[in-house]
A = this chain, B = another copy of it.
């Protein structure tokens, strides 16, 4: 049972390989009657596309999205929306040297063990390039949630390698290639330059949030909103940790300080729980943090084996992000939007549109 569909009622089925003819997805379950065109989706794809700065892979992909179905006269019809993105810059020769070897930290080894066959060109199916259709689908979800509930999503990088990043304000995120919420990113640039000089890579910590989330979303006891958020985040390439609200800091907390006091009108005095109580949205902002491991594709030689099981030394040339976290912000926002969208439809199915009033 191959797991390439995200969501249950707003179901996004992803297809394609990094160096195949095209990548894309089919969205099944989008409500009818919403205005939609490529112009609503392209900006989000542009935020994550490669080649936008010297700090990310130089692969040059326009990532132009084409709507193949599900929209008539600029309006969603309720039928499946197929979003297609043609691959244009496929320099497979970059990857020729790794077709018979397994790159440490990569999915090469496990894909081969699982399927007995793999497409090694650019990581094939395991490439982070496959997050583009996720971002495209997320843009559709974001539009519907924004129009219906005013729900919005935003994220930023809060740490890169050993370098903690402060918070000057959300307005700065769009003004630098790191999605950093700070006015001055020179320290980050210096850090990244040193890293590139060393042919090495580093990890990152990111934050993603949602505002104006309807109260009552989440399907305990198993399909809780926080559980599905954790799945979505941990499912992103290179993510090794997920926190909601205070996350691991909660371990050292006392109940007397952690529990968010409830105020009249359904307000809260704090948000230690990150907007989720018992797996259901409380109406507070969703607060999520993720840990991203360092890119496995580096110039530093690493011991590994080949498909014959013989020891080899691997150096990964080609075009890679020294820190995959740099381009992860729009992807995390899209994933959070897809989770909220799916749960909004699930809530509507069982309980109807409006949450029970305070």
Contact = CB atoms under 8 A, between A and B. Distances in A.
Q: Which of A21, A70, A235, A246 has the most CB of B within 10 A?
A: A235
Interface string A216-255: 1111111110111111111101011111111111111111
B220 A3 contact: yes
A128 to B, nearest CB: 10
Given A77-B115, A240-B247, 13 more contacts: A1-B223, A17-B70, A79-B125, A102-B262, A105-B260, A105-B273, A107-B279, A109-B282, A110-B279, A110-B282, A201-B254, A227-B232, A230-B242
Copies of this protein chain in the complex = 4
Contact of A31 (B252, B310, B350, B355): B350
A72 interface: yes
A111 to B, nearest CB: 6
A28 to B, nearest CB: 5
A104 B68 contact: no
A75 B195 CA distance: 39
> In which size bucket is the chain A interface?
35 or more
A350 B345 contact: yes
Interface in A68-124: 68-70, 72, 75-82, 102-107, 109-119, 124
A150 interface: no
21 contacts: A2-B223, A3-B220, A4-B223, A6-B222, A22-B68, A30-B350, A32-B117, A77-B117, A77-B118, A104-B259, A109-B266, A110-B215, A111-B278, A113-B282, A200-B255, A201-B254, A201-B256, A202-B252, A205-B248, A254-B294, A255-B296
B79 A2 contact: yes
A114 B216 contact: yes
Contacts of A195: 254
A11 interface: yes
A47 interface: no
A303 interface: yes
Nearest to A274: B240
Contact of A253 (B114, B256, B294): B294
A355 B116 CA distance: 8
B247 A291 contact: yes
Given A203-B251, A251-B161, A356-B114, A80 B119 contact: no
Given A241-B247, A300-B256, A114 B77 contact: no
B349 A9 contact: yes
Contacts of A22: 68-69, 82
B1 A349 contact: yes
Interface string A294-332: 111110101111000111000000000000000000000
Contact of A224 (B116, B222, B235): B235
